[in-house]
Structure 1
Amino acid sequence: MTLERRFPDYGRVTNLCLAQKITLEQIAQKSGYDRCDIYGQTPACNECCVGSTPVIQSGLDIMQLSNTINSTSDTVQTCLSDNAGRYLCEYIYYTSLSIDKSRSIFVHVPPLDEPYSAEQLAEGLAAIVRGLVRQLRNLKLDQAVPT
């Protein structure tokens, strides 16, 4: 069963890239994209073409997600980052956050066996997805409760 079928009300954007640890990105910057792509091009004015906010923070509680995984997992650990690299990763993340910061996350993952096996990485990513689904469920419940 796909996530869309199981949780149809939970739209989400999840992006992955390589890192030394399972790294959860918290923010993305609009500017600073001065490295050339494979065609020798950079974005106009070295800025992301969407959005107007200089810095966008995920509306998800990334710190809580990391703390929960780190305190409950025997095999993987996560860390937090405020710098997704000011290249393709951060550009993609900024674009995702511009579209919907309440449901966007960017996860950098290490190469296989450095230090985690494929099974351990899959377990870590599954824990991230479970944590995000829990957050979105709780948010939906909080919004449904009249104040």
Structure 2
Amino acid sequence: MLTPVPDADGAPFWRYAAEGELRVQACADCGEPRFPPRPCCPHCRSFAGEWRPTSGRGRIWSYVVPHPPLLPDYAAQAPYNVILVELAETPRIRLVGNLVTEPGAPLDSISPDRVRIGARVQAVFTATGLPQWILERP
């Protein structure tokens, strides 16, 4: 199972995720959200930043279904989905994850044929704080 490896800029993201909260970095001067986390705002070049809570809701913007050969730790779970989620409050921010049946479920817990672009999803978190996604209305 993957575990987060935070850097200085992304450490707050992982701290909030470990608490079950999805937050995104935003510029404290112009308000522009940014992801991935970084020290400088690409919009106004300010170094002031803050972490804003989100609802954790979004929609599937795109997805892939990896098939073997894969890294050995993932081959047994293939085929599984990897989704790109557009956040509801900040549609310019898209996060990668897996669509699962419940927090901490295996990557293959949802059949790939159930994944649909545009489906509404909600963030959930594994015990290690890794974001995953569940369907809002299964």
TM-score range, shorter chain: under 0.3
By percentage of residues, which structure has more helix? Answer: 1
By percentage of residues, which structure has more strand? Answer: 2
TM-score, structure 1 as length reference: 0.23
